[in-house]
Every structure is written in structure tokens, then in C-alpha cells.
């Protein structure tokens, strides 16, 4: 919680960030032009959230857009990633809360593309170009799904490794999205208050 990734991002030079980038010279044009082939390669990851295009934004540019950021790191063949996406599709309360309170991105680490990562407000906006592998490394993604809740400055508020059933996941989304985490002094207090809120909301949702 509450780690400043901006400092880490600054350590990566553009030259290094380009190592994993899709380069036009690396793609055989075939019947398409190099530009078309590059665009198709960059759009491969969109298939990962088919049916949820109204929830997840194109990862070519990752930015808060005046909201909290929800970054879901997944990969091909991840059964719990699929379960998480099914939950969002099936439960409108979950879907609508994400759309209202978050700029949400599904980042498939099975593919490599360049991301324009923009953080900060209007007057302190910073932009970094980096490939998928380095974005995942910055957020310490070791398993999928890994769900990162971040504020507009790029600071991690909470990181959830693994799948959580939809009622509990909705509670976490509300805890951050409604700003209930504000004013918490340390990780211990954060976890205590988050756990209490999850239990409270789960009881309420079960009773509804």
C-alpha cells in the first residue's frame, strides 16, 4: 500500500523501455502495411476483455482521467482471471461502480505492447513510455490476477493478488472508490478497517 511508483518509473530510460516494444521492422507486412500490422499487434490484448469494452479502457494510454485507477493484470489461460471478468459481466452493480469511480484497465501480460502511462493532475502530469513487462514489474506482479488500486498520482492504495468473490470485491472497490481509506495512517490500520468493511458489506448484500 502507498508506494510511490513514480520514482521507480523515472529509473527506466526510453532506450530500455523500447527493448520489449513491438517494432515495425520486426513485423512482416504480408498483405498488410507495416503500420497496419503494428496496429493489429497492439490490439491483440483487446480480445482479453471482449464484452467488457464499456468497462476497460484501451491500455495504449493508461491515465486516471480524474478518477482512481483500477489496473487488473491477467494473462491467457488464467482461470481466475476469466472468473473475475465473468463476475463483472454478470453483476451490474459491480460493473457500474467500476465505470463510475475508476479508470479501469485490463492488462494482459501475455502480450507486449508499449503503454503511455500518464499520472498526476492537470498541472503536474507526467508521462512515461514503457512496455507491458516493465509495467507489470513496477507493480510487482507475480501472479494473475493481480488487482492494483491506485490514486491519480500513480501511488498504490491497495494491491490485491488473486481472485476475490464479487461481493467481497465490490466491498474493496467501494472502500477505495468512496474514499473510506483516506486518513488511515499505516498498513495495519488499513487492513483492519478494510476487513471490517468487507464483513459489513457482505452481511448487507447477503441480506438484500
Residues 168-181, mean pLDDT to the nearest whole number: 96
Residues 51-66, mean pLDDT to the nearest whole number: 95
- The Cα 119–Cα 33 span in angstroms is 33
How confident is the model over 68-90, as pLDDT tens digits?
Answer: 999 999 999 999 999 999 999 99
User: Would you state the pLDDT for residue 122?
Assistant: 59
User: Would you state the pLDDT for residue 9?
Assistant: 35
Is the predicted pLDDT of residue 41 greater than 70, yes or no?
no
Is the predicted pLDDT of residue 124 greater than 80, yes or no?
no
User: Would you state the pLDDT for residue 10?
Assistant: 36
Residues 154-164, mean pLDDT to the nearest whole number: 93
Report pTM: 0.80
User: Would you state the pLDDT for residue 17?
Assistant: 36
DSSP 96-156: HHHHHHEEEEEEETTS--EEEEEES-TTS-EEEEEEHHHHHHHTT--SSSEEEEE-TTSBE
Check residues 200 and 9 and name the one with the higher pLDDT.
200
Taken in order of first residue, the domains within the chain and their CATH numbers are: 5-164 (3.40.30.10)
User: Would you state the pLDDT for residue 126?
Assistant: 83
- The one-character DSSP state at 8 is H
User: Would you state the pLDDT for residue 44?
Assistant: 83
**Mean of pLDDT over the chain:** 84
Classify residue 11 by burial, with Cβ atoms within 10 Å: 0-12, 13-18, 19+: exposed
Amino acid at each position: 500500500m502507498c508506494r510511490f511508483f513514480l520514482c521507480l518509473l523515472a529509473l527506466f530510460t526510453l532506450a530500455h523501455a523500447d527493448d520489449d516494444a513491438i517494432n515495425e521492422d520486426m513485423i512482416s507486412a504480408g498483405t498488410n502495411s507495416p503500420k497496419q500490422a503494428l496496429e493489429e499487434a497492439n490490439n491483440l490484448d483487446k480480445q482479453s476483455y471482449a464484452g467488457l469494452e464499456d468497462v476497460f479502457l484501451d491500455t495504449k494510454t493508461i491515465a486516471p482521467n480524474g478518477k482512481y485507477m483500477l489496473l487488473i493484470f491477467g494473462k491467457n489461460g488464467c482461470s481466475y482471471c476469466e472468473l473475475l471478468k465473468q463476475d463483472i459481466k454478470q453483476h451490474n452493480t459491480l460493473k457500474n461502480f467500476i465505470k463510475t469511480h475508476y479508470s479501469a484497465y485490463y492488462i494482459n501480460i501475455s502480450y507486449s505492447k508499449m503503454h503511455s502511462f500518464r499520472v498526476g493532475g492537470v498541472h503536474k502530469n507526467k508521462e512515461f513510455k514503457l512496455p507491458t513487462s516493465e509495467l507489470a514489474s513496477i507493480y510487482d506482479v507475480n501472479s494473475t490476477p493481480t488487482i492494483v488500486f491506485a490514486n491519480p498520482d500513480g501511488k498504490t492504495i491497495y494491491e490485491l493478488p488473486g481472485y476475490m468473490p464479487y461481493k467481497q470485491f465490490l466491498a474493496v472497490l467501494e472502500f477505495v472508490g468512496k474514499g473510506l481509506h483516506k486518513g488511515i495512517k499505516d498498513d495495519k490500520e488499513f487492513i483492519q478497517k478494510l476487513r471490517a468493511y468487507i464483513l459489513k458489506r457482505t452481511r448487507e448484500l447477503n441480506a438484500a
